Amino acid sequence: MEQEIEQAKVSRRRFLEASSAMLVAAAGVQVAQGQEKQIRSADHHLPNESQPVQNNDPLDKENPSSVWAPPTDSGGQPPFKYSFSLSHKRQEEGGWTRQVTVRDLPISKKMAGVQMRLVTGGIRELHWHVGAEWALMLYGNARITAVDQEGRSHVSDVTKGDLWIFPGGIPHSIQGLGPDGCEFLLVFNDGNFNEFDTFLLTDWMTHTPPEVLAKNFGVPESTFDKVPNKELFIFERSLPRPLAEEQKQAEAGTGRVPHSFDFKPAEMKPTKVSRGGEVKIIDQKIWPATNIAAAIVTLKPGGLRELHWHPNEDEWQYYVEGKGRMTVFSAGGHARTMDFQEGDVGYIDKSVPHYIENTGDTDLTFIEVFPTPFYEDISLAEWLAHTPSRLVDQHIQVGEDFLAKIPKKEMVVTPE
């Protein structure tokens, strides 16, 4: 009897072992089948790619890399894009303005941007702010004025493509000229900047007791009877007098600022030119007045701002024209790809690698702005080209022949 019981136990154990083996084998078949099953398609026709609920189709078409992310994207990289089109626009008699700050784009901790339109004669009133103001003229013509710590003056006319810089604390103004005023981009080295909360001449004077104003200037209190009782901000007036006349009047007694607050990129040679496009790098090395570095990048269709990073500061981007995409890779295997077009802002943290690719059929132009006087970058290709090829090949197994052909100098824009 005991022998029969033992035989039954052995048979049961063998049955369970065989059953387990069959289950493992069946699971293996299912895994293998799952690995072979297609989960992505070029036209997104697969059942697992369907979107049966109505979507915001125009927005989806502008952001294909978010709707259908490349398989190389991974992890929880936060958004690094915001469009000025989503920003509140403040309208005044002399024009309008809107901004993108850290309140809109949380990753944008060190820089903020403003778009502004001034009609012919429209004035952004005399004011100043704590942070520095870097500007790019996008359209039309304007007159800018400023006075430095020693009372030296700057008065000049700027046009499309020109830049200006007003260091923090420097009082200044902008006025739209003919024939149709202007539109421009402002970038500030403070992510928390607020264009609607700056130090304004009218605002200050109306909040200062009249007897103090009279004592300060040695005139009767009645002199200030017509000071506006609230800020002007953006208002319309007659066009300024001839440039030479206003320069002479403003410079009387103290002269002109030693380094011009404006700069004309159109008059400089590109820093780098290739079949893929060109780059102009503008920092304190060639523009002594600036404490904000920048690059103006133009990519031909299919061109690539090569894989690189910036070791000294964060990067704030503005897309002037065209279409492109950018992948940002951060530590821990996180990566995300996003699409950009005119009016979009991009932001990349210091030392985080990325690229920008022209995905349209026209030129892509964008600017890179940095809250530092000097531009710095490190490219992937240059890093690999100047590291022992044996060591690099042991990492990525591409062959030393390939590594030997990488250009020894940074490409910046490809193809060469």
The mean pLDDT of 9-26, rounded to a whole number, is 49
**Residue/partner pairs of 65-72 with CB below 8 Å, 24 or more apart:** 65/325, 65/337, 65/338, 65/339, 66/337, 66/338, 66/339, 68/44, 69/336, 69/337, 70/327, 70/337, 71/40, 72/327, 72/335, 72/337
- Residue 11: pLDDT band by 50, 70, 90 thresholds? low
For 290-326, what is each residue's pLDDT tens digit?
999 999 999 999 999 999 999 999 999 999 999 999 9
For 37-78, what is each residue's pLDDT tens digit?
888 888 888 888 888 888 899 999 999 999 999 999 998 889
Instruction: Reply yes or no on domain 87-258 having CATH 3.40.50.720.
Output: no
* Residue 331: pLDDT over 90: no
Residue 395 is assigned to a ligand binding site: no
Residue 207 is assigned to a ligand binding site: no
Query: pLDDT higher for 51 or 16?
Result: 51
Residue 308 is assigned to a ligand binding site: yes
> Going by C-beta distance under 8 Å and a sequence separation of 6 or more, which residues neighbour residue 141?
157, 158, 159, 160, 176, 177, 178, 181, 182
Domain 268-414: give its CATH architecture.
Sandwich (2.60)
Residue 315 is assigned to a ligand binding site: yes
- Residue 6: pLDDT band by 50, 70, 90 thresholds? low
* Residue 399: pLDDT over 50: yes
- Residue among 278, 313, 368, 382 flagged as catalytic: 368
Determine the pLDDT at residue 48.
Answer: 86
295 Cα distance to chain centroid: 11
Per the listing, tokens 């290709």 go with: 381
Q: Which residues pair with 152 in a beta bridge?
A: none
* Residue 22: pLDDT over 70: no
Using CA atoms, how far residue 74 sits from 34, 38, 69, 308, 330, in Å, is 20, 19, 9, 19, 10
Q: Is 368 considered catalytic here?
A: yes
Measured at the CA of 390, the angle between CA 384 and CA 393, to 5 degrees, comes to 65
Determine the pLDDT at residue 294.
Answer: 98
| Range(s) of the chain covered by CATH 2.60.120.10 | 87-258, 268-414
Residue 221 is assigned to a ligand binding site: no
Quote the percentage of the chain above a pLDDT of 90: 85
Determine the Cα–Cα distance for residues 345 and 201; give it in Å rounded to an integer. Answer: 30
Determine the Cα–Cα distance for residues 87 and 67; give it in Å rounded to an integer. Answer: 22
Residue 4 is assigned to a ligand binding site: no
Q: Which amino acid is at 375?
A: Y
User: H helices within 304-388, ranges in order?
Assistant: 380-385
Determine the pLDDT at residue 13.
Answer: 54
